[in-house]
Structure 1
Amino acid sequence: MNRYCFQLMVDPAHLDEYKRRHAAVWPEMLAALSAAGWHNYSLFVRDDGLLIGYFESPGTLAEAQEAMAGTDVNARWQAEMAPFFAGLEGSPDTGFVQLTEVFHLEDQLRDAAASGIRTPTSDNESAAS
């Protein structure tokens, strides 16, 4: 599963309404995201409007975006969400800045175990056996 993280900027003047809309996303939109392979999807926002999104998908980012672009509900959702963002050209789902992952705990623990390096986690597991 591939991990994707992105950044957008919500206009702070619209932040409360943005949060309200995301507290009850349309069921049709939720179903479309799931069917398009967007898993473990989360959005985090700071009081100044900095928005960080994270999701996992079996394919590439472009494939995940294309799968959603092919749905009617996504076009309607993006049109409704666009006014909430500051300095955005295009729709929110294509205008985000992708962030590069530089560390993932489970990957490094797995790599360490494969290399025969003992970690506190592997020491605890063998002590419990």
Structure 2
Amino acid sequence: MKRYGQVLKVKAEKEEYYKELHAKPWPGILKTIRECNIRNYSIYLRDGYLYSYYEYIGEDYEADMAKMAADPETQRWWAECTPCQQPVETAQEGELWAEMEEVFHLD
């Protein structure tokens, strides 16, 4: 199992819509997330920043992320979410959710 932390910004004018979307996620999206070996997934909001945390339990992260990206319902979900989001200033080229470095963990 590998833990992932990521960050991005939510556009102020889209914050309420983003929260509404995530208050009632589409069942197919939740199914695909699980099928792609993601567990214990959370997104937090503070001062215009979104922080996500999840655990990956699979064997091939790149393949599972490609599977998720190829899913038509996921593509429709992202079409709703992406206009709400903007990368942080330090994100890599083409990176929306910027990966964070884990500096502490306690089980």
Structure 2 unpaired stretches of 5+ = 89-94
Give the secondary-structure state (helix, strand or coil) at the position aligned to 2:67.
helix
Give the secondary-structure state (helix, strand or coil) at the position aligned to 2:53.
strand
Q: CA RMSD in A?
A: 1.8
Q: Distance in 2 between matches of 1:23 and 1:61?
A: 27
Cα gap change, 1:96 to 1:103, in 2 (>3 Å): same
Q: Distance in 1 between matches of 2:82 and 2:102?
A: 26
The structure in which a higher percent of residues are helix is 1
The structure in which a higher percent of residues are strand is 2
Give the secondary-structure state (helix, strand or coil) at the position aligned to 1:100.
coil
Cα gap change, 1:54 to 1:63, in 2 (>3 Å): farther
Which structure would you say has the larger RCO, counting Cα contacts within 8 Å and 6 or more residues apart? 2
Instruction: Describe the superposition over 1:65-91 as per-residue Cα deviations: whole angstroms up to 9, x where unpaired.
Output: 223112111111111111111358xxx
Instruction: Describe the superposition over 1:5-54 as per-residue Cα deviations: whole angstroms up to 9, x where unpaired.
Output: 100100011111110110000001111111111100000001x3200001
* Residue 24 (1) aligns with residue 24 (2): yes
Query: When the two structures are superposed, what TM-score results if normalisation uses the length of structure 2?
Result: 0.83
Query: When the two structures are superposed, what TM-score results if normalisation uses the length of structure 1?
Result: 0.70
